Amino acid sequence: MFLRFSAALAKKLGCKTGALDSAHLAFPNVWYFDVFKPDGGERLVLASEENTLFSVLIPLGRSKNHESFLITFAERLKLVFADAAAWQKPDFSEQVFSGRTNRGIIGSQNDLIHLARVHLALLEHLPLVEALADVEGDLNSAPMSVLKTKSPERAFLAELERRQLSE
């Protein structure tokens, strides 16, 4: 799995990143990460799959190193991919860290973070777990220009279908 961290998150988690190429890795093994803090809330990580921008929100909590954060990330992805048993899930056997390089994805993540902040502010009355689920649904249904106005969810499902047909 190829993990592309923003400089701020890499520093927070103490992981060294370089400018490595992930072109040889297939969907869904390349993820982009950025950290943000909603108004009055705890730090969250936005993790977005490279090809589809399908995103999950992960509370950073007390994670002070990348190992503990990756455990939380792996558990979150297992939930996301639980219903997709017919195809290969992300490979956590080896992780490679790199900096974020694709400006289109970085800009899209900035847009998604802005949307997440707005939605979280509207849902501040809900427990964090419920609010995050609602916000993820909103983020993944938002049309994105980098996806030619498809939503991340539609792009993700189309990629799943394409992978299943090619097997």
Contact predicate 1/94, CB 8 Å: yes
pLDDT < 70: residue spans in the chain: 19-20, 22-24, 63, 83-89, 166-167
Range of the domain at 132: 2-166
Q: What per-residue confidence (pLDDT) applies to 89?
A: 67
Q: What per-residue confidence (pLDDT) applies to 86?
A: 45
Which CATH number goes with the domain that contains 96?
3.30.420
Q: What per-residue confidence (pLDDT) applies to 139?
A: 96
Q: What per-residue confidence (pLDDT) applies to 45?
A: 96
> Torsions phi, psi of 102, nearest 5?
-85, 110
Largest pairwise CA distance in the chain = 46
Q: What per-residue confidence (pLDDT) applies to 23?
A: 67
Strands ordered across the beta sheet of 2-5:
55-59, 44-49, 30-36, 2-5, 96-99
C-alpha–C-alpha distance, residues 119 and 116, integer Å? 5
**Number of structural domains in the chain:** 1
